[in-house]
Structure 1
Amino acid sequence: MVKNKDNSLSAIWPNEYVVIFCDLCIKEVKAGNRPSTHLNKVSWNNVSVAFYKITWRDYDRIQLKNKWDLLKRDWKLWRDLKQGSTGLGWNPMKRTIVASDDWWNEKLKVFPQAKKFKNNGINPEMESKLNDMFLSIAATGDYCWGPGFGEMPSDMANENEEYSE
């Protein structure tokens, strides 16, 4: 742990601990212990105890929840960055998206906070874990429609038929 200016302690999160944390959270999500956007109290306790047994790091619920929130924020930004783009590659050596400078320049105009991903992105394995943690609770825009978008997609129209009389 590292002391902050206000003498509070910040958790240190090496990559292997982030993977462990994600795996523990996914286990709780799959067990149905995420009733809304976060794990419930029992789940946070389960994650905390299991995390300590594996890593010997005694992080409290607030530190774990802060990590959850940071991962979710980065995951949403990463998804927004890649949204609507095809033909992107992944460079495992550089740990980033393979794309032209023009692509990066255009994306960074829209998402300036994504600059950190130009040199160190979210690898596909971690992205899959984050999808498992957050995909069903985050507003991603994947299933939105408005009159200005043109004709309603047939799969969305069928869902609405169930509610019409």
Structure 2
Amino acid sequence: MAGVDNEVLIIENNDEASIWTQKHEEIFIELMEEEVLKGNKNTTTFTKQSWKYIKEELCARAKRKYSDMQLRNKYNQLKQKHKDFKSLLKETGMGYNAVTGEVSATDEVWDKLTRVNKFAKRFRKKGCKFYEKLCIIIGDTTATGSNAHPSTRSPSNDGDNNDDDATSISPSTRNEESGFDDDGSKRRERSIATSASHYLLDESVEVLNQIDGISGEVYAKAIEKFENEVSKALFLKMLEHRRIDWLLNLK
């Protein structure tokens, strides 16, 4: 955002819950996801116009004012939350429900994880409800394919769990990673819009494959519909019985 200091300051205090209610955080996440799907995050950051729109819409819907600094802090907190949860899903014996964002494991696995990872405890009860959306926002396509698993399956431990802890990352480095400022010349460019499209396609086909009793003809029609970005997004948001209605009415 223009006019905002480049240093990232992560605020964690007792006022945070009152500043960011669960509903306001949800609005913020949904607005960022919408901007990604509209193609307004073409590098590692949203455009200036996109951030301006997100801020204005958030303030209007939440009926309270948020500063650039508060948005930046929340963005980086969500980025770190995504990183921590992704790391948790790599653990052997961890089950994940992509619909609810909840995780499951035996008490033995949890006891082990909470001793090693300080963040595991907070995910045990609530999981990460908006993990799928955060993957889209951040452009993390590794959450799909072999790493996307329902609660009935556990991910394999690929051993790639060497990410630095948040406290060991300098403020300037964390800001560079977040891409919150508009200086794209300092970072490797990549197409987030394309990544998001691939992510939605993978997720849509994954969900479709779990639906029993549909014919090959219906399946083929659904795959054809998934060429449309809106169809994929709507399909993933539907309740299970509504997905079946949608499939049976394809023409």
Q: Bin the TM-score by the shorter chain.
A: 0.5 to 0.7
Q: Judge which range, 99-108 or 27-36, deviates more.
A: 27-36
Paired position in structure 1 for 2:119: 113
Matched, 1:128 2:132: yes
Query: What residue in structure 1 maps to residue 27 of structure 2?
Result: 20
The 5 A counterparts of 1:86-165 are: 88=95, 96-123=102-129, 126-136=130-140
Alpha-carbon distance change, 36 to 131 in structure 1, aligned in 2, over 3 angstroms: same
Structure 2 residue aligned with 1:47, among 36, 46, 54? 54
> Relative to 1, partners in 2 of residues 1:76 and 1:99: Cα closer, same or farther, differing over 3 Å?
same
Question: What is the deviation of 1:96?
Answer: 4.8
Matched to 2:28, the amino acid is F
Q: Under a length normalisation based on structure 1, what TM-score does the superposition of the two structures give?
A: 0.64
5+ unaligned residues in a row in structure 1: which ranges?
Answer: 143-165
1:39, CA displacement in angstroms? 2.1
What RMSD, in angstroms, separates the aligned Cα atoms of the two structures? 3.2
Higher RCO (C-alpha 8 Å, min separation 6): 2
Q: What runs of 5+ residues in structure 2 fail to find an aligned partner?
A: 1-10, 148-251
Residue deviations 1:45-92, cap 9 Å, x none? 1101111221112112221121111011011101110114456256x9
Say whether the 8 Å CA contact 2:94–2:104 is kept in structure 1: no
The CA distance in 2 between the partners of 1:49 and 1:137, in whole Å, is 29
Q: Which residue among 74, 86, 92 is the counterpart of 2:81?
A: 74
Offset from partner CA, 1:2-44 (integer Å, 9 cap, x none): xx9xxxx867111111111111111111222224333232211
* Structure-2 separation of matches of 1:48 and 1:108: 36
CA contact (8 A) 1:52 1:59 kept: yes
CA distance in 2, matches of 1:96, 1:137: 19
Task: Look up the equivalent residue of 2:20 and give its one-letter code.
Answer: W
